[in-house]
Structure 1
């Protein structure tokens, strides 16, 4: 039996300095690996290129990150190597040492049919205001926070450790005491969402928790979720809704003292037909969402 080679998109990976100097390059159709020997320096970046976007990809740019299935909607994606405080959310192994390995490959058609966490993206980045993402899923929030240990991207990085707060593996999304805080997960295309999973941070007594939250789906559904004071998985059915994004808002603190946080949000489901992919313009979830028509779900498993 001989293997079949299918002509697919040309992929490229580069390591460049902050001034654009090329340090390493690799190109290949369908699947490209990063096998670079050298030490990263502040300002360095990994640049992914794709000749034929949009593409569904399996991506892992460093051994310290989990593999994520992502949608690339542009010809290039630039990942800035984290240094200093930025690295606290990634863990001590990530981008460290002098030997680095990673990969990006086009997702096989058979893999696209699998039931998985559609929200996970360990390579998600916090973007400047007004910048459009090119890699999905993407986490967006209205919370103003400069501490990388509490940014929105932490809620979809695949790490669901809930018992403490701070640096990896306890990074989380924090609201910085902002009462109108919201978190939105954008998928960049229509997906079939079956189940929502929430992992609340529970570093008590430092933390408190949210008694409830308003879940908004891009198809117009709104549901009030009743939450419990636990770091265990809390699960809510989504009924196979076809959505491009979902959002949490109207977060009700259980106690005035303490700092609530979300360690991880997962959306279990599957892809729709690949022909339905389309790039969605980010739409802000308004703080004054109407309660009309909400149904309450308190059946977290």
Structure 2
């Protein structure tokens, strides 16, 4: 697979680029300016290990499309990243193809620190029908960024998905291809007594099944084994708040454990070109 990394300015002019076969690195020796983007290009859809900044953990993600662009965060959007991220005048970026054994390994399939509101190419991707005051530190992407510190709120690393006190709030995590899942783990934000918590949440799977999960007042991982199923997305909804004085329940992290489905990535590419989908069963 041919891989390319680029830095482009607000007008689309390429400031730096690097291309390699199966792995490539880009060292950019300038400070970022507002309007610039980091672009990843692949010759075909597939799994890659992506590291767009040395202050953020490299992650195994799935590129459903052949190009992904991340706007370098400035202003409010910087608040959901480490203060060291995207700063300074030297930046090391890298991308490599994932090995078959890495793709087959059971892992948290809902992990993508590179997710963004505008993202439609790089999976998993999180979106929500509400985010507290539209602030980056309460955005849906925070629930899958891998940051689990949860005894404070409002700044990195205490990022979370905030629901703006809306009992109808819902969070969707999309995988971009069929995956087999068998466990869900919730990390509630636990800045007590500022925070409240949910006593019960519901998860609907793309297969049509809905499950309910009881939760307790805790910042620790609350994990639930589920019957293995093949899905393409989940929706978290039906958030039942505890009867306490605080109006602020929030989610720090959701983990969805499982494996890729063999051949599913290839299937997804074929579907985009109009071929009939293959029926997948356990």
Listed one character per residue, the Cα deviations across residues 36-56 of structure 1 (whole Å, up to 9, x for unaligned) are 11100111110111122x111
Query: What is the rounded CA distance, in whole Å, between the counterparts of 1:275 and 1:252 in structure 2?
Result: 35
- From 189, 194, 205, the counterpart of 2:193: 205
TM-score for the superposition, normalised by structure 1 = 0.86
Counterpart of 2:220? 232
Q: Which residue of 2 aligns with 1:271?
A: 260
Residues 193 and 246 of structure 2 are in contact (CA less than 8 Å); yes or no, is this contact kept in structure 1?
no
What runs of 5+ residues in structure 2 fail to find an aligned partner? 273-282
What residue number does 1:141 align with?
128
CA distance in 1, matches of 2:210, 2:264: 28
How far did 1:247 drift? Answer: 1.3
Q: 1:66 aligns with which of 40, 57, 61?
A: 57
In 2, distance between residues paired with 1:197 and 1:36?
37
> Would you say how many aligned residue pairs link Structure 1 and Structure 2?
268
Question: How far does the alpha carbon of each residue in 1:12-70 deviate from its partner, in whole angstroms, 9 at most, with x for none?
Answer: 01111111122111001111112111100111110111122x11111110011112211
- 2-structure distance, mates of 1:99, 1:23: 13
Whole-Å separation in 2 of the counterparts to 1:111 and 1:197: 21
Determine if the alignment matches structure 1 residue 259 to structure 2 residue 236.
Answer: no
Partner of 1:41: 33
**Superposition pairs of residues 1-301 of structure 1, within 5 angstroms:** 9-52=1-44, 54-127=45-118, 133-144=120-131, 145-254=133-242, 255=244, 257-275=246-264, 277-278=267-268
Cα offset, 1:105, TM superposition: 0.9
3-state SS of the aligned residue for 2:115?
A: coil
| Alpha-carbon distance between aligned partners in 2 of 1:98 and 1:274, rounded to the nearest angstrom | 42
Mapped contact 1:202–1:231 kept (Cα < 8 A): yes
User: Quick check: which one's helix share is greater?
Assistant: 2
8 Å Cα contact 2:202-2:236 kept in structure 1: yes
Contact 2:3 2:20 in 1 (8 A): yes
CA 275–155 in structure 1, closer or farther in 2 if over 3 Å, else same: closer
2-side partners of 1:73 and 1:248: how far apart?
Answer: 23
What SS does structure 1 have at the residue aligned with 2:100? coil
Task: Name the Cα RMSD after superposition.
Answer: 1.6
Deviation of 1:275 (Å):
4.2
SS at match of 1:110: helix
Distance 1:140 1:256 in 2: 28
Give the Cα separation in 2 of the matches to 1:246 and 1:275: 17
Q: Distance in 1 between matches of 2:8 and 2:260?
A: 34
Residue 274 of structure 1: CA displacement? 2.8
Contact preservation (8 Å) 1:201, 1:260: yes
